Amino acid sequence: MSLDVSAWTAPQRGALFVVTGASGTGKTTLVREALANLPGIAWSVSATTRAARKGEVHGEDYLFVSTEAFERKLQKGELLEWAKVYGNYYGTLRKPVEQALARGESILLEIDVQGARQVREAAPEAVLVFVLPPSVESLEARLRGRATDDDATIARRVAEAREQLQGVAEFDYIVVNDVLASAHHRFQAVLVAELQRRHRHPKLVETFAG
Ligand code: 5GP
């Protein structure tokens, strides 16, 4: 029996991570940094019908598709989950997620509460992480601070953010994004710890206890 297990540091069974939080909580910043630091976790590129923002790249940030194309994918059962957010469709393609997991890799979905619930239904073993703002007031101030939005848009965003926050009770982990450096640390600690769980390392268990 070989006892050099250094090749098996990475898990054989990857995790399906779902990260959710109201818009304005800074979850995208946390996710970007984590993925840059943790090469074993892939980013799931969602499909959306919203227009690309400046700097966004098709196929990297999102797959930007027409409403017809999105509805076709929906009808054909190609979406693991989907939601309508701010009047636009968003959804996760089932195939890339299934393929990553089948290869033993981990994948991270940054999606809303409605989507997170659907993933939990379809894949109960998914790991759900909720990013909270330090206070409701700070979140609302951030949403109001976006100079490009009119009053009606801001009011709608605030209402939707409050609704998203209600979903926190259904999540496995909570990370408060107060001090960014500390939040990065806590967020990545969640992901890293999940990847060390015994059931993801059958070769190690087999080697030492088989
Ligand atoms: P944004 O338009 O600002 O990129 O995203 C708006 C909201 O849609 C965010 O809360 C984001 O997490 C959510 N979202 C992005 N992709 C998906 C997806 O594939 N499914 C679901 N359910 N929500 C998504």
DSSP per residue over 33-61, as a string?
A: HHHHH-TTEEEP-EEE-SPPPTT--BTTT
Q: Please, are residues 114 and 108 in contact by the beta-carbon 8 Å criterion?
A: no
Asked, for residue 121, whether it belongs to a domain, the answer is yes
Interval 115-162: pLDDT, tens: 999 999 999 999 999 999 999 888 888 888 766 678 888 888 888 888
Asked, for residue 146, whether it belongs to a domain, the answer is yes
Nearest protein CA to atom 15 of ligand 1, as residue: 111
pLDDT at 126: 98
Asked, for residue 59, whether it belongs to a domain, the answer is no
Domain count, the chain: 1
Pocket of ligand 1 (CB under 6 A): 23, 46, 50, 81-83, 85, 90-92, 110-112, 114-115
Angstrom distance (rounded) from CA 93 to CA 202: 28
Asked, for residue 195, whether it belongs to a domain, the answer is yes
Token pair belonging to 13: 């069974």
Asked, for residue 151, whether it belongs to a domain, the answer is yes
Which segments of the chain have a pLDDT < 70? 1-2, 146-148
* CATH code: domain of residue 176: 3.40.50.300
Distance 34 CA to ligand 1 centre (A): 18
pLDDT at 1: 56
Distance 153 CA to ligand 1 centre (A): 17
Asked, for residue 53, whether it belongs to a domain, the answer is no
Atom of ligand 1 nearest to the CA of 19: 12
- Host domain of residue 154: 16-44+104-209
Asked, for residue 1, whether it belongs to a domain, the answer is no
Q: Which of 17, 111, 170 to mutate to test the pocket of ligand 1 (most atoms within 8 A of CB)?
A: 111
pLDDT at 3: 78
Name the pTM for this structure: 0.94
